[in-house]
Structures are given as structure tokens and as C-alpha cells.
Amino acid sequence: MFEVGENADGILAGVLFLIWLSAAILATRLAWRPTPEALRKSARRLLRLLVAALVVLVVKCVAIGLMLAVDWIFADNRVIVQMPLLLLPMLAVAVWTVPGLRALANRDDAPVDVETRSAAANPRFVVPVQVTAVATVVGVYFAYVSRPVPSYLDDIATHAAPILLSVLVLWFWQGRRLRVVTATDFARRGRRASALRATAQAAVVVLVVAAGITYVAQSSRLPDRMTMTSHDNVDYGGGPSIGHGGHGGISVDDLRGPQTGKPNKAFTLTAKNATVRLSSGAEIKALTYNGQSPGPELRVREGDLVEVTLHNEIPDENVTIHWHGLDVPNGEDGVAGATQNAVEPGGSFTYRFLAEQVGTFWYHTHQNPLEAIRRGLFGALIVEPRDGPPPGERDFVVQAHEWRTPDDNIVSFGTSDTLQRQEVAPGTPVRLRLINTDNNPSTDSRPRALTVNGTPVRVAAIDGVDVNGPTPLTNPRFGLATGGRYDVTFTMPAGPVRLTDLANRDGGLVLAPPADASTPKIVDDGDHFDPLSYGSGGSRPFDAGSSYDRSFTQLLDDRLSFYNGGLHLVPIINGHSFPDTPTLMVRMDDLVKVRIVNRSHQNHPMHLHGHHALVLSRNGVRATGSPWWIDSLDVIPGEIYEIGFKADNPGLWMDHCHNLDHAANGMVMHLAYEGVTSPYELGRGTPNQPE
């Protein structure tokens, strides 16, 4: 409903503009109509336009109503900023223009005299229509470019200013025209619009607009060097103000994992160029860890001290490793320009951390990730329980990815873009570890949809946290947020089971009993799996009713504007793109609530580093069932999520959209703990491009 309202509202802004533009032109020319007939006709046409405008306005109110019906916050900016600026000039039209216009429309055939002409050229009669046309231009700007956020005072000023200015200018201009109309020699004054003058005027307008656009594009370029927190847009979430550094400050470099002790598991990952061959034979010029993509599966046990040494042998690309979903100490988080310098060609970096969470995670570079993850710098990270996996369990790691070749997008599981078969004996406990390693959710306003056919399944874990009391699901559709993971379990039945990514129906994974060559049919009309009410039991350390030390609101909008020199549909958080997005400031041990409101046209899989957050509610409906802990949460247009987390992992943490196109266009913010600073910089002039 939000999307319908939002889309309609945008289109109607354009329609209103066209109607009022025509009305303004008609009104401006009315006094120049030569014959009584022409004057009457124009007046009537103008009246009809005004009626049409009224109808469109009513439809617009309905569209806004649709958004308000979801929640006040989806259209409060229209009610507060936009509508008054549209309604006031329209009211002036009703009061000052319409009565005179009706008189003109019903005029008899008497010749058009000075009196009539001066009535039709009177500023009080014409200017309201012209100003309303200006207001609709501001309305179009509102709908596509400016996305006002609270407190709205600035926004009211910036939107009202051009309208007020236009009143002055048009009143003055129309006053001059009035004198022309009433001059005694009016009949002899023809239109002296010379073609040359018109061309010159047009050229000046084009030049000014072009210069303006160039200036805006240039000034949107990001600085060559900046730090994650080099702006002063900070948000304390209603809690006490706190600072980044200062006395007693601590650097992210001091927040490393255990530096001593013999690791239980040590891995070496060497980033290098390699050609990866998919099961269909397609070849990908990939960026890899150890020459393979997905990179080597890192499988460790709960409590292990893990050491990973990264070497970079890619000649023209810096790399890092970020442990997506594993809440490691901040200095091990692998974010170029925040927690380390990206590893340059020939360089190395060693990560050390304790594997304290059990479940399915993944790792990927956090340097130029849009390109580099897509091209292969990622792999699975599995933490098994301390006492080992359930006896007899077979687990299959499935990395849903989309490879790009010069002429194709290839949807696959790891390197399998064709149907794969595995033998599994009936009665075997099976765990499918589904990981969405792709940049982008699927297109149907849902994240990537995977389905399992052939047997009912349970979702045993989400984002590396076990689900309590999972119930069986038949032919479910799993919308997996970008970066998100579901562990799906079942006991192998007597027949085959099929896992499919609905974006590639010729691919997938079939698990079948020995000597069974059959393949289950894809059933794609199952219910979307919804974790909000799934499972039962388990305890919540806090919920929607708890009292929070800090409460933040993230308003996700998008607007047509320049970012870093290019024109994009730029996703914004609270009216800003990185680096101007507000930093969420917290103190150790704060209980924090974040309300995420998606007012944009696209899904935003939001990912907070270093923490797992508990989903409290969605669109006002409290989460029930098993506690739903997330590190990656897909928020679709029109949704409001409330999540809560305990600030228990000090550092400077990224909080960004994992649709990496969006992140690259500035949909990035940070969670900063009091007193934590980073010595690292990012930007063109540094080795670090974390997005």
C-alpha cells in the first residue's frame, strides 16, 4: 500500500505540474485575447483546467492517505511540508481568480474594452495561478529530489523560499503587463518578440542550468581523504551526548583478538586472480582466495582460537577479510579504512579471534566489495558446536551467488549453475547452510527466493543463531537477505529432495537416495517464510516494551541526485549519504533500539557489524515465536522494523545496506562507541575504499 501511494504521489506531482503550467500560460495570456469569443473560450478552458487540478488534488490526497494508513511516518513530510505549500496558493486561486474568471467565462459579446482587459491582467487575478504553477514545480522537486526528514524546519524554508520569491517577481512583472494592457495605444502595440531576443534568452537559461548542474555534480565528489567519523552529524538516540576520542580514548588498533596463544585452527588465504569454471563450463575471470571461488571453506569448532593469514597477490586490487555475522573484536573486523588499511599487492595481514558463536557465517573482502565480492572474494565460515555436529548429520553449504560475464548474469550455488546431485541415505539428518553471497536481492521486491521441494523442512538457525521450536514447512519460499543465512534441516526421506533458486530453475541441488534418479518438480507457489512468528520458546533478554538507553530512527529514502560525481537514484539515510549520514553514538552496555523505516522504492538488507540484534516488531506487530536474532535484515518498501541490541562490543562499526550498489552510493553509516577512534582514512587518496 505504501508503494502504491508513493508511486502514485510521484506521478501525480508531474500531472499537477503539467495542468498548472497550462493554466498559468492561459491565465497570463487572457488579457491579450482579441475578440469577445476568444476571451470567453480561453476563460472557460482555464476553468476546466482548474476543475481538473482539483480532481487530481483529491486523488493525491488519497495517495497520501494510503501511505498514512501504513504509518504516519511514511507521509508526515507531505502533510507538514508539501501540502501546505500547494494548498495555500490554490486557496488564493479560489478566492481571487475564480470569481473574476467566471465573470469572463459568462461574458456577452460586447467588445473587449480596457476595463475587461485590466481585470484579466490584474496581478491579483493572474499571479495566484502562476504561483501555484511554481508550487507544483517545487512539488516535483519534493517528490523526486528532496526527501525531507524531521524536524522539517529547514525543509519548509527551502521549499517555501522559491514560492515566496516568485510571488514578488511575478507580481512586479504582472504589474508592468497590466500597464501595457491599459495603455491607450495598446491596440497598436504588437508583440515585439524578436526571434533573436528569444534565442538569446533561451541560451542564457541553458547556460545557467548547465553551469548549475556541473557545479552540483562536482561538489558531490567525495573528498580524497576522510575518516569514518570526520563529520559532525552524530545521533545520540536521545541519550547523553558523548564524544569519539579525547582523553582516555581507545584506538580500534587496541581492540584486537587474542594476540598470544597457539591457534587451534590456522588458515592462509592468498588473494589472487584465477579463472573459475562453473559446472556449465562458463568461465569467470575471478578474484579469488587461494585460486578458488567461493574461497576455501573455513570450518572451526566453538571456542577455537582461529588465525587467518591473508596475503595479497592480486596486482591491481587491495583486499581485506570481513567475517560477516561473526561478532569478532573490532580490530579484526576487516573493514578497509575503519579497522585496518587494506592489504596492498604483496602485503599481508593476520586476523586472530575466538570463534564464540556456533553456526553459518561467511567471509568476504571489505575493500571495493561491490566489484570484488561479485567477482569472487568470498567464502563460507562454519563454526561447529564444541562437541561436534549432531551424529550422522550431513551438511551442505550453499552459497547463492550471481556471476557476471561480459554477456550474462549467471545465478548459481557456488560454482554450480546446473543441477547437481548428491547421494544421501534415507534417514540421514541433513542441514542445508544457505548463504546469500550476492550483491543484490532479487527483483520482485522480495529478497532472493530459494525453495525446497520433496520433504517438509525446518529452519534451524537464522544468521548463525539457533531457532527454538522450529515447525515443519512444506514447499517454503525462503527470501534470504543479501548477506543473510538460513540453516534448513530435515531427515532424508525415501525420495529425492530439491533445493532451487527460483532465479535459475535449471540449476539447484538434488539430494537423492542411492540409485534414485528421479528429480522432484519445482513448486514455487509456497508461502514466503516469515521469521517474525516462527518457532516457539526461548527467552528474550529485552523486547518492544523494555526501556532503552538510546533509540535511533533510520529513515531510508531515495532521491534523484548526484553522488560522487554521477547522477543516481541515491539511497539516503535520514536525508544524507555517506559521509554525511549520522553516526549512531553509544556507550558500552547501553541497551539500544533502532527503528528502520523504508520509505524508498527498493529493498534494503541492512547489516550492522559486530552485533546481533533482536527483531522486536514489524509494522507495529510484535515478534512472537522464537527470538529472531539477525545481523542482516531485509527491509522492503513500506516496512518499519524495530530491532534492539546490547552495546557489548566496543569499536567503530559499519552499519550499511548489503545491497552493495546502494552501499557504494552512500548507504553507509556507523555505530561508534564512546571514546573509540580510528587512525585509518578512506577515499581516493588512500588505499581504502570500504564500499
Q: Can you give the binding site for ligand C2O, defined by CB under 6 A?
A: 322, 324, 364, 366, 483, 607, 609, 654, 656, 658
Q: How far apart are CA 103 and CA 122, in angstroms?
A: 14
Element (H, E) at 615: strand 613-618
The piece of 6-14, 177-185, 354-362, 650-658 that touches Cu ion (CB under 5 A) is 650-658
Closest contact distance (angstroms) between CB of 631 and ligand C2O is: 9
Closer to ligand C2O at the Cβ: 609 or 612? Answer: 609
The partner in contact with residue 658, picked from ligand C2O, Cu ion, none with C-beta cut-offs of 5 to 8 angstroms by kind, is ligand C2O
Q: 420-423 and 504-512: which strand pairing?
A: parallel
Closest contact distance (angstroms) between CB of 377 and ligand C2O is: 11
Q: How far apart are CA 369 and CA 375, in angstroms?
A: 9
Using rule CB under 5 A, residue 662 touches Cu ion: yes
Q: How far apart are CA 296 and CA 100, in angstroms?
A: 80
Using rule CB under 5 A, residue 462 touches Cu ion: no
Read off the C-alpha cell for 187: 491596440
Q: How many CB atoms lie within 10 A of CB 537?
A: 10
The partner in contact with residue 559, picked from ligand C2O, Cu ion, none with C-beta cut-offs of 5 to 8 angstroms by kind, is none
Closest contact distance (angstroms) between CB of 664 and Cu ion is: 10
The partner in contact with residue 364, picked from ligand C2O, Cu ion, none with C-beta cut-offs of 5 to 8 angstroms by kind, is ligand C2O
Closest contact distance (angstroms) between CB of 82 and ligand C2O is: 35
Closer to ligand C2O at the Cβ: 597 or 663? Answer: 663
The partner in contact with residue 659, picked from ligand C2O, Cu ion, none with C-beta cut-offs of 5 to 8 angstroms by kind, is Cu ion
Query: 676 pairs with which residues across the strands?
Result: 250
The piece of 10-18, 68-76, 584-592, 661-669 that touches Cu ion (CB under 5 A) is 661-669
Closer to ligand C2O at the Cβ: 9 or 691? Answer: 691
Closest contact distance (angstroms) between CB of 127 and ligand C2O is: 53
Can you tell me whether residue 660 is helix, strand or coil?
helix
Closer to ligand C2O at the Cβ: 39 or 336? Answer: 336
Closer to ligand C2O at the Cβ: 13 or 370? Answer: 370
Closest contact distance (angstroms) between CB of 74 and Cu ion is: 17
Q: 378-384 and 295-301: which strand pairing?
A: parallel
Please give the residue whose beta carbon sits closest to ligand C2O in the complex.
Answer: 324
The partner in contact with residue 607, picked from Cu ion, ligand C2O, none with C-beta cut-offs of 5 to 8 angstroms by kind, is ligand C2O
Q: Using CB under 5 A, which of 116, 659, 665, 678 touches Cu ion?
A: 659
Closer to Cu ion at the Cβ: 120 or 668? Answer: 668
Q: How far apart are CA 485 and CA 179, in angstroms?
A: 74
Closer to ligand C2O at the Cβ: 322 or 477? Answer: 322
Closer to ligand C2O at the Cβ: 325 or 470? Answer: 325
CA distances from 238 to 354, 476, 552, 577, 588 (A): 34, 41, 8, 22, 16
Contact in structure between 591 and 546 (CB atoms under 8 Å): yes
CA distances from 633 to 514, 572, 613 (A): 38, 17, 10
Q: How far apart are CA 255 and CA 169, in angstroms?
A: 61
Size of the site for Cu ion (CB under 5 A): 4
DSSP 16-70: HHHHHHHHHHHHHHGGG--SHHHHHHHHHHHHHHHHHHHHHHHHHHHHHHHHHHH
The partner in contact with residue 654, picked from Cu ion, ligand C2O, none with C-beta cut-offs of 5 to 8 angstroms by kind, is ligand C2O
Closest contact distance (angstroms) between CB of 604 and Cu ion is: 3
Closest contact distance (angstroms) between CB of 366 and ligand C2O is: 6
The partner in contact with residue 324, picked from Cu ion, ligand C2O, none with C-beta cut-offs of 5 to 8 angstroms by kind, is ligand C2O
The piece of 156-164, 186-194, 379-387, 597-605 that touches Cu ion (CB under 5 A) is 597-605
Closest contact distance (angstroms) between CB of 443 and Cu ion is: 14
Tell which positions 282-321 bind Cu ion, by CB under 5 A.
none
Contacts of 346 (CB under 8 A, 6+ apart): 312, 313
Q: Using CB under 5 A, which of 256, 604, 607, 656 touches Cu ion?
A: 604
Closer to ligand C2O at the Cβ: 586 or 654? Answer: 654
Closer to ligand C2O at the Cβ: 97 or 320? Answer: 320
- Phi/psi-derived region of residue 327, left when phi > 0, alpha when psi is between -120 and 50, beta in every other case: beta
Closer to ligand C2O at the Cβ: 508 or 690? Answer: 690
Query: 594 pairs with which residues across the strands?
Result: 552, 643
Find the DSSP H helices in 523-591: none
The piece of 178-186, 379-387, 391-399, 656-664 that touches Cu ion (CB under 5 A) is 656-664
Contacts of 51 (CB under 8 A, 6+ apart): none
Q: 613-618 and 621-622: which strand pairing?
A: antiparallel
The piece of 60-68, 213-221, 313-321, 651-659 that touches Cu ion (CB under 5 A) is 651-659
**Helix count and strand count (H, E) for the chain:** 11, 34
Closest contact distance (angstroms) between CB of 607 and ligand C2O is: 5
Contact in structure between 482 and 439 (CB atoms under 8 Å): yes
CA distances from 7 to 12, 64, 67, 163, 309 (A): 9, 10, 10, 25, 49
Closer to ligand C2O at the Cβ: 550 or 656? Answer: 656
Read off the C-alpha cell for 409: 548474469
The piece of 239-247, 290-298, 436-444, 601-609 that touches Cu ion (CB under 5 A) is 601-609
Closer to ligand C2O at the Cβ: 24 or 606? Answer: 606
How open is the CA angle 487-493-497, to the nearest 5 degrees? 60
Phi/psi for 229 (5° steps) reads -125, 30
Contact in structure between 545 and 558 (CB atoms under 8 Å): no
The piece of 110-118, 499-507, 610-618, 649-657 that touches Cu ion (CB under 5 A) is 649-657
How open is the CA angle 346-349-354, to the nearest 5 degrees? 155
Closest contact distance (angstroms) between CB of 482 and Cu ion is: 9
Closer to ligand C2O at the Cβ: 366 or 433? Answer: 366
Q: What are the residues binding Cu ion (CB under 5 A)?
A: 604, 657, 659, 662
